[in-house]
Amino acid sequence: MTTQPGSSFHQRPKTPLAWWAVGFALAFFVMQGLNSAVFMRLAEDIPWRQTVLPFYGIFMMLCGVAAGVVGLIALLRKHERSWMVWLAILSGASALLFVLGEFLAPH
C-alpha cells in the first residue's frame, strides 16, 4: 500500500487534507478582512451587532485553528510541504495567539 507523495514548497498541495487546510485558511483570512473592514466600523447601537458578532468571531477563530491543525496533520502525516500549507499553519498560529491573548490579557 503506497501513499500519495506530498508536494514540494513551490508546488500546489497534492493531498485532499492539505486542500482542506488551505480552504480553512482562506475562510479565516476572508472573514478576518471582512471583520476589520466592515463589522468593526459599525456603530455600537446597531441591535443585531451584539448578538451576531460574537458567533461570527468564534466561527472565524475556529476556522483559523482548524486550518492550523489540519495543516499540521497534512505536514506530518502526508508529507505536504507546499507554501499554501505553511500559510495555513501560520493562520492557525495567528488565531491561536489571538485566543491566548484574550485569555491572558483580557480587556
What percent of the chain stands above pLDDT 90?
Answer: 63
Per-residue pLDDT of 7-50, as tens digits, reads 678 788 889 999 999 999 999 999 999 999 988 888 888 888 88
466600523: which residue's cell? 41
Which amino acid, one-letter code, is at 53? L
What is the pTM (predicted TM-score) of this model? Answer: 0.84
Q: What angle do CA 71, 75, 81 make, to 5 degrees?
A: 105
| Residue ranges of domains in the chain | 24-104
Name 73's Cβ contacts closer than 8 Å, sequence gap at least 6. Answer: 17, 21
Cell numbers representing residue 3 in the block: 501513499
Q: Are 48 and 2 in contact (CB under 8 A)?
A: no
Choice between 8 and 64, residue whose per-residue pLDDT is larger = 64
Number of neighbouring beta carbons within 10 Å of residue 93: 16
Return the closest-CA partner of residue 17 out of 3, 31, 32, 2: 3
